DNA sequence: ATATTAGTGTTGCAGTTGCAACACTTTACA
DNA sequence: TGTAAAGTGTTGCAACTGCAACACTAATAT
């Protein structure tokens, strides 16, 4: 994921943040970031710490949608988040909060560092769109088996390898695929018995796959 | 959805498109747009006609992910689309094709019309992200009932009304929720019997909803 | 006006999934 | 180091869902 301040000097970063009237806000561990900005669209950039986008299910289970660290960006929208969704600081964090409208208003600006920042945000937004497309592509598959295989396909494709290293644990994978963890374990077990895949901890190897001609 | 040429005069639009070395390409009915751009990231803007983002399921069923008309924007990525996804012209269409990289490269440019264009694209990209977040929020619900109720909640919330007018038919709604049409019909039928909702054609009325205190 | 096609609603059934309960392993940390 | 907490794998079962088959209605075209 692109860094929002890629190719921007520390000095210019300061100028930029002052131009955008951004505020660096401290959030203590486990505090809610979203609660403070329910009436405006903001762009948040993690300066220090870790932040999690969390959704609380009907039964009270909380699942992590996304985890963001230093220099990563999140955007919020008044209409998107409510009730069951929140953004919380996983540890004490410093977050740069920018009013979305300030960015739009400053687009006429012709300062070098601002243009670089916009360029970066552009790349980041595009990345986010494509990332979400991928997730939707997976979620629209109708069985756990197909969701999981689609996940493997996309990973394998983007890495150009039949070996996939899970970036998180199986519990989180189940959350990402929006399925029950134990049901996923069952399907993975079946796929192994069928000789489709091999697993060793978080390494999954696709043995063969007719669809993608492995 | 924001128009990509919002607040840009016809004359400046021409200058802009020439600056970005965009090409207006004609696509005949049912022809594939994506096939022609497998090796580059493009931004497409519909000048005339209608375009559909189509996904072909394992069983051969084709479902429409998105339908775009005049002035609407789509972006593609080399890594995102393959095999089962395509963008096709629903009717003879003129499409403005811009190389994604050209937009990025021109961000240093300080022409008014270019800044306005970037501003528009920015708004569009943000809209798309939030739209996709909504869909993901729905798709991660585990039952048809909950997917449908989440859809109703989001619609009702954004319109500020208990009356929801489906923008498409029940078949397409099922596709959007990624569930079987007849199974959705069954759930809707149950919700009606339970007195949760009332339907009259494409108008759905939420009668009461504990969660959102109607 | 009528034939054809597209959309809608119902239901049985088989296959899939969530959930609960459990055993076991790994990790975190006092 | 030992103990609690977190993660993993298995299985039975009830609930949910996709699919097929069907009837009916609405829209469209000739």
A27 backbone dihedrals φ, ψ, rounded to 5°: -125, 130
Bridge partners of residue A46, in order along the sequence: A95
Rounded to two decimals, what is the model's pTM? 0.86
Can you give the pLDDT at residue A213? 33
| pLDDT of B210 | 45
Which of A103-107, A185-189, B45-49, B210-214 comes out lowest in average pLDDT?
B210-214
Residue of higher predicted confidence among A164 and B59: A164
Which residues of chain A lie closer than 8 angstroms to B157, CB-CB?
Answer: 79, 82
Chain A contact for B181 (CB, 8 A cutoff)? no
Which band of pLDDT confidence, cut at 50, 70 and 90, is reported for residue B63? low
Give the model's pLDDT for residue A55.
Answer: 65
Q: What is the pLDDT of residue B211?
A: 45
**Cα dist. B161→A180, A213, B155 in Å?**
34, 50, 8
A72, A85, A171 from A200: Cα distances, Å: 31, 34, 16
> Going by C-beta distance under 8 Å and a sequence separation of 6 or more, which residues neighbour residue B200?
none
* Beta strands in chain A, from DSSP E residues, in sequence order: 23-27, 42-48, 51-56, 62-68, 73-75, 85-89, 93-99, 163-165, 197-200, 203-206
Give the distance, in angstroms, between residue A172 CA and nucleotide D10 C1'.
Answer: 19
User: Residues of B numbered 81-100 whose beta carbons fall under 8 angstroms of chain A's beta carbons: which are they?
Assistant: 82-83, 85, 100
Strands lying side by side in the sheet with B85-89: B62-68, B51-56, B85-89
CB of B142 within 7 Å of some strand D atom: yes
Which range (B36-50, B63-77, B161-175) has the least confidence? B63-77
- Asked if B74 and B4 count as a contact pair (C-beta separation under 8 A), the reply is no
**Chain B positions in Cβ-Cβ contact with residue A121 (cut-off 8 Å):** 122
Alpha-carbon gap, residue A41 to B77, rounded angstroms: 27
% pLDDT > 90, chain B: 36
Residue A80: which pLDDT band, with cuts at 50, 70 and 90?
A: low
Contact B129 A128 (CB under 8 A): yes
Contacts B184 to A, Cβ<8 Å: none
Interval B97-153: pLDDT, tens = 999 888 888 877 778 888 888 888 888 888 888 888 889 989 999 999 999 999 999
Return d(Cα A105, Cα B102) in angstroms, integer: 23
Bridge partner list, A89:
A51
Identify the three-state secondary structure at position A97.
Answer: strand
**Residue range A72-93: average pLDDT?**
70
| pLDDT tens profile A24-69 | 988 887 777 877 776 678 889 988 888 877 766 555 555 666 778 8
Q: What are A124-133's pLDDT values in tens digits? A: 888 888 888 8
Residue B81 has pLDDT above 60, yes or no: no
How does strand B93-99 pair with strand B42-48?
antiparallel
Question: Hey, are the CB atoms on B79 and A178 less than 8 Å from each other?
Answer: no
Q: For residue B184, which of B171, B194, B195 has the smallest C-alpha distance?
A: B171
CATH superfamily ID and name for B10-136: Jelly Rolls (2.60.120.10)
Residues 126-185 of chain A in contact with strand C via CB under 7 angstroms = 142-145, 178-180, 182-184
Mean pLDDT calculated for residue range A68-73: 84
Query: Average of pLDDT values for B158-170?
Result: 90
Asked if pLDDT for residue B196 goes beyond 80, the answer is yes
Name the E strands within chain B: 23-27, 42-48, 51-56, 62-68, 73-75, 85-89, 93-99, 163-165, 197-200, 203-206
Q: Helices A170-177 & A144-159, crossing angle to 10 degrees?
A: 110
Cβ count near B181 (within 10 Å): 15
For residue range B139-154, what is the model confidence (pLDDT) as tens digits?
999 999 999 999 999 8
Tallying the residues shown for chain A, one arrives at: 214
| A 133-152 residues inside an 8 A Cβ radius of B | 133-137, 139-142, 146
The CATH code that applies to domain B142-212 is: 1.10.10.10
**Mean pLDDT taken over chain A:** 83
Q: Which residues of A fall within a CB distance of 8 Å from B134?
A: 80
Domain A141-212, architecture per CATH: Orthogonal Bundle (1.10)
Domain range annotation of chain A: 10-136, 141-212
């Amino acid at each position: 994921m692109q860094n929002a301040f890629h190719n921007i000097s520390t000095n210019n970063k300061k100028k930029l943040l002052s131009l955008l009237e951004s505020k660096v806000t401290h959030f203590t561990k486990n505090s809610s970031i979203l609660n403070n900005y329910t009436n405006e669209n903001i762009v948040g950039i993690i300066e220090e710490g870790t932040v999690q986008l969390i959704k609380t299910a009907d039964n009270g289970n909380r699942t992590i949608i996304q985890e963001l660290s230093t220099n990563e960006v999140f955007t919020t929208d008044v209409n998107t988040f409510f009730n069951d969704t929140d953004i919380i600081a996983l540890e004490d964090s410093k977050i740069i909060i920018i009013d979305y409208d300030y960015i739009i208003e400053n687009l006429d600006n012709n300062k070098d560092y601002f243009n670089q920042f916009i360029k970066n945000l552009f790349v980041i937004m595009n990345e986010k769109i494509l990332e979400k497309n991928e997730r939707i592509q997976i979620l629209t598959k109708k069985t756990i088996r197909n969701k999981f295989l689609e996940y493997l396909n996309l990973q394998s494709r983007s890495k150009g390898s039949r070996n996939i290293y899970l970036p998180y644990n199986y519990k989180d994978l189940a959350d990402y695929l929006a399925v029950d963890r134990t049901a996923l374990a069952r399907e993975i077990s079946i796929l192994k018995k069928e000789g489709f895949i091999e697993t060793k901890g978080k390494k999954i190897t696709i043995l063969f796959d007719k669809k993608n001609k492995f």
